[in-house]
Amino acid sequence: MNYRWIRLGKRLLGYASLSLLAVWTLLPFGWMVAVSLMPSGAASTYPVPLWPDAPTLAQYTALFAQFHMARYLANSLLLAGSITLGALLLNAMAGYAFAMLHFRGKDALLRLLLMALLIPMHITILPLFLMLRAVGLINTYLGVILPNLASVLGIFLMYQFMRTLPLSLIEAARMDGASEFQIFWRVALPLSRPMLVSVGMLTFLGSWNDFLWPLVVLTQHTHYTLPVALANLAGEHIQDIELMMAGSVVTLMPVLLLFLVLQRFYIPVLFRSGLAG
C-alpha cells in the first residue's frame, strides 16, 4: 500500500518537472505568437496582456506592405535554397571520390580536411571580407553563397555514408561501361537519399539562421536575409513590440515546421555535426 503511494508520487513529480520544463521552453514561442496578433501599442500597457483581446493580422500586413518582408523572405529562401542545393552536389561529389575511388594521398587529404573542422568562422571573416571586396562581391547574393558552397562536415557525412554502399553495384555499373559521373549520378546519389536529406536539412537550417557572415557581407537592405533584416528592424523599431514579434514569427515558423516534419532525418546527424561547432 505504502509502496504504491511512493511510486505514484514519484510519477507525479516526474511528470510535473517535465511539464514545467516544457512550459518554460515553449512559453516564449507562445508569447511571441500572442503579442504578434495584438494591435500596435497593446503590449505596452500595464499589466501586460497575455493574450490579444481582439486578434488582428495588422502587424503582418504592415510587415509585408511597409517593411519589405516579402523581399527578405525571398532573399532567405533563395540563399538558403541555392546554398543547400550547391553544397549537396559538391559535398556528395567529394564524398563519392573519397568513398569509391582509389587515388594516392587520400588519407593525407582527409586528415587535412579534418583539421579544417577546427577553423572557426570568426577567424576567416576579416580576410574573406577583403577578398570578396577586391572582386566586387560585397552586397551580392554570390558573396553569401560562395563561401558556403561546400562544407567539410558535409563532405565527411557523405563520405561516411557512401562507404557503406554495396561496392558490387558500383562494379556492376562499371562493367556495363557507365562513366564515373553516370555511376555517381544514377547509382550512388539515389542510394544516398537518406543522408542527402539529412545533410540538406543541416545545411538549410544553418544558412537560414546564419547571421554573422550575411550581416558583414550584405550591406544594403535590398539583399538582407530575414535575421539581418530583423536585427536591423529591431534597432529602428525598438518600441514596436507587436511588429517585432510578427517579424520573429515569420523568421521562425518556416524552420520550426521543417524541423517538425523532417526531424527523424535531422537528429541522427547532429551528433557528428557538433564536432564542427
Partner 1 sequence: MKGPIAWAEVQAAAWFLTPALTVVLLFLFLPAFAAWILSLTDFDLYTFAEPTTLRWVGLRNYLALLQDGRFWHALQNTLIFVGLGGLLTLSLALAAALGIHQRFVRWKAFWRTVYFAPVVTSLVAVAIVWRYILHARYGLANRVFAGLGLPPIDWLGDPQVALPSLILMAVWKNYGYDLLIFLAALQAIPEELYDAARMDGAGVWQQFRYVTLPALRPMMALAGLITANGYLQVFAEPYVMTQGGPLDATLTLVLLLYEQGFRWWRLGYAAALAFVLFVLMLGVSWMLWRIQRRP
Q: Is 25 in the site for partner 1 (CB under 8 A)?
A: yes
Please count the residues of this chain forming the interface with partner 1, following the rule CB under 8 A: 92
Q: Dihedral of CA 276/273/199/80: which sign?
A: negative
What does the angle CA 18 – CA 22 – CA 24 come to, to the nearest 5 degrees? 120
Q: Is 211 in the site for partner 1 (CB under 8 A)?
A: yes
Q: Which of residues 34-73 bind partner 1 (CB under 8 A)?
A: 35, 43-48, 50
Residue 88's φ and ψ, nearest 5 degrees, are -60, -45
Taking Cα atoms as reference points, which of 160, 118, 142 lies closest to residue 275? 118
Of the candidate spans 52-60, 66-74, 147-155, 161-169, the one that interacts with partner 1 by CB under 8 A turns out to be 147-155
Residue 188, C-alpha cell as written in the block: 550512388
Taking Cα atoms as reference points, which of 170, 172, 171 lies closest to residue 184? 170
Residue 79, C-alpha cell as written in the block: 540563399
Of the candidate spans 55-63, 85-93, 161-169, 190-198, the one that interacts with partner 1 by CB under 8 A turns out to be 85-93
207 and 79 Cβ atoms separated by less than 8 Å? yes
Closer CB to partner 1, residue 58 or residue 178? 178
Member of 114, 167, 169, 267 binding partner 1 (CB under 8 A):
267
Member of 113, 138, 165, 197 binding partner 1 (CB under 8 A):
113
| CA dihedral of 56, 62, 64, 68, whole degrees rounded to 10 | -160
Q: Which of residues 217-256 bind partner 1 (CB under 8 A)?
A: 226-228, 230-231, 234, 241, 244-245, 247-248, 251-252, 255-256
Which of the 8 DSSP states describes residue 42?
G
Closer CB to partner 1, residue 200 or residue 227? 227
Q: Which of residues 150-179 bind partner 1 (CB under 8 A)?
A: 150, 152, 155
> In whole angstroms, how close is the CB of 228 to partner 1 at the nearest point?
8
95 and 150 Cβ atoms separated by less than 8 Å? no
Of the candidate spans 53-61, 63-71, 110-118, 163-171, the one that interacts with partner 1 by CB under 8 A turns out to be 110-118
Of the candidate spans 56-64, 65-73, 165-173, 206-214, the one that interacts with partner 1 by CB under 8 A turns out to be 206-214
Q: Is 79 in the site for partner 1 (CB under 8 A)?
A: no
Instruction: Give the integer Cα–Cα distance in Å for 218 and 140.
Output: 7
